[in-house]
């Protein structure tokens, strides 16, 4: 089955700097890659996703890139702000098989002001 | 928004007792999921449903059962709770139009 590895497990950046979180997946048939943000005690919230027919997607300060050949995808946050501090999870799935998400272990992002 | 309500939100129970967590959606989504979240493991799929009375196992299904008698309700049952099932449980549904998965607010379960 699918296995997703996520790095780093913790990341501290200065406010205004960029943050990059990387994930690798094992199943070459996976075709959907969402990113979730989770604040303490809250539900995971979808922040951006990408399908396998796209190499990059941007939404304001957030971008995701996908390299299907290498089987890895990354989340990029620019101009980080204190409210970006949270746990971020990547996931992978096959849309045609019930979209059962397999998650990475998460990255704790701390933005220092 | 997932339109998901989970109950109970918090529960403390004793080892060996049965526990049922309820997930109710206001949407009419066909796919629903139960995940558990533990430190260092992210979220792991327990069971999922692809329609009324249609369910299947996820990666950590041992000790859990589910039922879906109505589109809007997806129940997760721990037949005999163990301390290893202390966790946060999240229900989710799939918006087919957007092909995205949304989570409920979670149920905190402690087995003592």
Retrieve residue B51's tokens: 């329609």
| CB < 8 Å to A46, chain B | 100-102
Contact A101 B45 (CB under 8 A): yes
**Among A6-20, B8-22, B34-48, the least confident range:** B34-48
| CB < 8 Å to B40, chain A | 105
What are the pLDDT digits (tens) for B22-63? 999 998 899 999 999 998 888 999 999 999 999 999 999 999
Closest CA to B5 of B32, B24, B18, B28: B24
Contact A43 B44 (CB under 8 A): no
State yes or no: pLDDT of A52 exceeds 70: yes
DSSP letter string over A20-47?
EEEEEES-TT--EEEEEEE-TTS--EEE
CA distance B46 to A103: 13
Q: Give the pLDDT confidence score for residue B1 in this predicted structure.
A: 63
Closest CA to A90 of A34, A51, A12, A50: A34
| CB < 8 Å to A101, chain B | 33, 43, 45, 101
Retrieve residue A12's tokens: 């501290």
Contact B99 A99 (CB under 8 A): yes
What are the pLDDT digits (tens) for A75-110? 999 999 999 999 999 999 988 777 899 999 999 999
């Amino acid at each position: 089955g699918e296995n997703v590895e996520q790095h780093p497990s913790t990341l501290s950046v200065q406010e205004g700097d960029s943050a990059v979180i990387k994930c690798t997946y094992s199943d070459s048939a996976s075709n959907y890659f969402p990113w979730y943000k989770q604040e303490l005690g809250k539900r995971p919230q979808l922040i951006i996703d990408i399908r396998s027919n796209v190499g990059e997607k941007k939404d304001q300060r957030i971008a995701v890139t996908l390299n299907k050949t290498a089987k890895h995808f990354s989340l990029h946050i620019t101009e980080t702000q204190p409210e970006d501090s949270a746990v971020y999870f990547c996931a992978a799935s096959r849309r045609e098989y019930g979209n059962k998400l397999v998650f990475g272990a998460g990255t704790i992002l701390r933005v220092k002001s | 928004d997932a339109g998901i309500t989970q109950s109970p939100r918090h529960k403390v129970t004793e080892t060996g007792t049965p526990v049922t967590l309820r997930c109710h959606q206001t949407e009419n989504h066909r796919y629903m999921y139960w995940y558990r979240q533990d430190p260092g493991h992210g979220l792991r799929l327990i069971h999922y449903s692809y329609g009324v009375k249609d369910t299947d196992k996820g990666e950590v299904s041992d000790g859990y059962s589910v039922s879906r008698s109505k589109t809007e309700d997806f129940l997760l049952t721990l037949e005999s709770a163990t301390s290893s099932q202390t966790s946060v449980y999240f229900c989710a549904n799939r918006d087919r139009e957007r092909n995205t998965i949304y989570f409920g607010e979670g149920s905190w379960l402690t087995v003592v």
